[in-house]
Amino acid sequence: MLPQSWPRWTLILIALALAGVAIGLGLLLQPIGVALAGKAPTPTPTLHAIAYALPAKSQTCRECHFSLDALKASAADPSKAEEFLIEPESIYKPHGKLGCVTCHGGDGTVSDKEASHKGLIADITKDRPADCIVCHYNLPAEIPGDRLRTPHKIVTDKIEHGQALDVYCSDCHGQVGHGFDPVSGNVVCNMTVCLDCHEQRNLDIKLTEWNACHVGPHDVQNLNCELCHTSTQDWAQVKVAVHPMPLVGKHAEVACFSCHRYPNFGGLSTQCAACHEKAHDFGGDDCASCHDPANTWTFAAGTWPEHVQVWDQYKGKHTQVDCVGCHIDGLRAKIASNCDACHAKPSSHNQDAYAGDCVKCHQADQAWESATKPAGG
C-alpha cells in the first residue's frame, strides 16, 4: 500500500521502474546463461526477397528470343542463334509467368541489345541459387514414381549457409523456364547423364553407392543394382550374376520373372517342393537329395533312395533307366530282383542253373562280353 500522501501517478512510475529492472536483468543474464551452457546459439539463415519484375518489363526479350530470324540478325554467330530460341508457350508456364527480367536481370524495356543485356545472368542456378529456393523450399528427398533419391537437402543446405555448390538445379532440371524439364516428363534423361556428371566433377557420392541415388524396389537385401542390371540406359536388360542357390540344368534356362515376381522378387523358398510337384509319395521336400538337376533329374551319384541302395546291381546301364522303366505300376511298387523279370535269357544260355541269375557271370557296370564264367560252370 502506498502512503496516502503520495500522488496516484507514483504507482505508474514504480511499475515502469520494475519493468526496466526486469529487462536489464534479462539482458545481463542472457550471455551468462549461454556461456554456462557452453554452446553458442546457431543463427537461422534467412533468404532475401526476389526482385520481381512485371512480365511487361520483358517485352523486348520476347520480341527477339521468340523469333529465330531476329536472333540470327542480332547474333554474333548466326549459326548458333537457335540455341537462344525460346518457345512462345513457355511464358504460360509458372517460370515463364515471372518474366525474363525477374530471373535473368537486364532491361526488357529497351530495344538496344547492349543496353538490354547489361547485368544479364545466363544461369540463375549458378550465379544466384538462393533465388531458386525462395520459391522451391521443402523439396522432396525422394521421387517415388522413379524410385530416385535426390540431392535436394545437400543443395539447399549449402545455399542457405552460403557455401559453394558442386551441383546446380539446372544440372538435373535443365532450363525449366524455357520448356525443358526432365522431371516433368518433357525430356527424360537416362542414367548415363548422371554418371558422366559425377565422373567429370568427381562428386562426393561415388558411383558404386547405388543406394545414394536409387530407392530399391525389391525385398532382396544386400544386392547392388549392377549385379543383375547390365545397362544404365535400359533397366530391362538383366542377367543373374549371383544367386542364393546354383542355377544349373533346366533351372538355368528359366527366366528370372518366372519365379521372382515384380516388384519384390524376394520371399521365395529354396525347397524344391515350393515349385515342383513331387512325383512320388516317399522322400522329403528336398528333391536334390536324390536327383541331380544338372543331369535331367537322374539320381545323383550316391544319393539314390534307400530301397535302391540295397540292390547291388544299381550301377552301369541300370542307373540310366528311368524309374518307371522298372516300376511300371508305380514308384512304390515292389519288383522282383531276379534278372529275368526284365531280361530274356539268350538262346546260347542252356544252363538252367543260371536262369534268372545273370549276375553269376555278368555285372551291370561291365560289358556283357566281358562276363566271367564261374568255375565249374
Inform me whether the pLDDT recorded for 67 exceeds 80: yes
Which grid coordinates belong to 5? Answer: 500522501
Q: CA 30, 32, 37: angle at the middle one, nearest 5?
A: 95
Q: What is the pLDDT of residue 207?
A: 55
Please list, residue by residue across 181-207, b when 16 or more beta carbons sit within 10 angstroms of its beta carbon and e when fewer do.
Answer: bebeeeeeeebeebeeebeeeeeeeee
Residue 38 has a pLDDT of 57
Look up the pTM and report it.
Answer: 0.50
Distance CA 97, CA 128 (A): 19
Of 152, 134, 64, the C-alpha closest to 98 is 134
Greatest Cα-to-Cα distance within the chain, rounded to the nearest angstrom:
155
More confident residue, 19 or 31: 19
Please determine, for residue 106, whether its predicted confidence score (pLDDT) is greater than 90: yes
Can you tell me the mean pLDDT for 217-238?
A: 72
Cα–Cα distance, 210 to 137 (Å, whole number): 26
Q: Is the pLDDT of residue 154 over 80?
A: yes
Is residue 349 pLDDT above 70, yes or no?
A: yes
Per-residue pLDDT tens digits for 300-324: 655 555 555 566 777 777 777 776 6
Q: What is the average per-residue pLDDT within 209-237? A: 72
Picking from 47-51, 61-65, 130-134, 352-356, which range would have the lowest pLDDT averaged per residue? 352-356
Return the higher-pLDDT residue of 156 and 296: 156
Please give the pLDDT value at position 79. 92
Q: What is the pLDDT of residue 253?
A: 80
SS (H, E, C) the chain: CCCCCCCCCHHHHHHHHHHHHHHHHHHHHHHHHHHHHCCCCCCCCCCCCCCCCCHHHHHHHHHHHCCHHHHHHHCCCHHHHHHHCCCHHHHHCCCHHHCHHHHHCCCCCCCCHHHHCCCCCCCHHHHCCHHHHHHCCCCCCEECCCCEECCHHHHHHHHHCCCCCCCCHHHHHCCHHHCCCHHHCCCCCCHHHHHHHHHHHCCCCCCCCHHHCECCCCCCCCCCHHHCECCCCCCCCECCCCCCCCCCHHHHHCCHHHHCCCCCCCCCCCCHHHCCCCCCCCCCCCHHHCEEHHHCCEECCCCCCHHHHCCCCCCHHHHHCCHHHHCCCCCCCCCCCCHHHCCCCCCCCCCHHHCCCHHHCCCCCCCHHHCCCCCCC
For the cut 60, the answer to whether the pLDDT of residue 189 exceeds it is: yes
- Is a pLDDT exceeding 90 seen at residue 176? no
Q: What are 117-127's pLDDT values in tens digits?
A: 999 998 888 99
Higher model confidence: residue 43 or residue 77? 77
Q: What is the mean pLDDT of residues 28-49?
A: 63
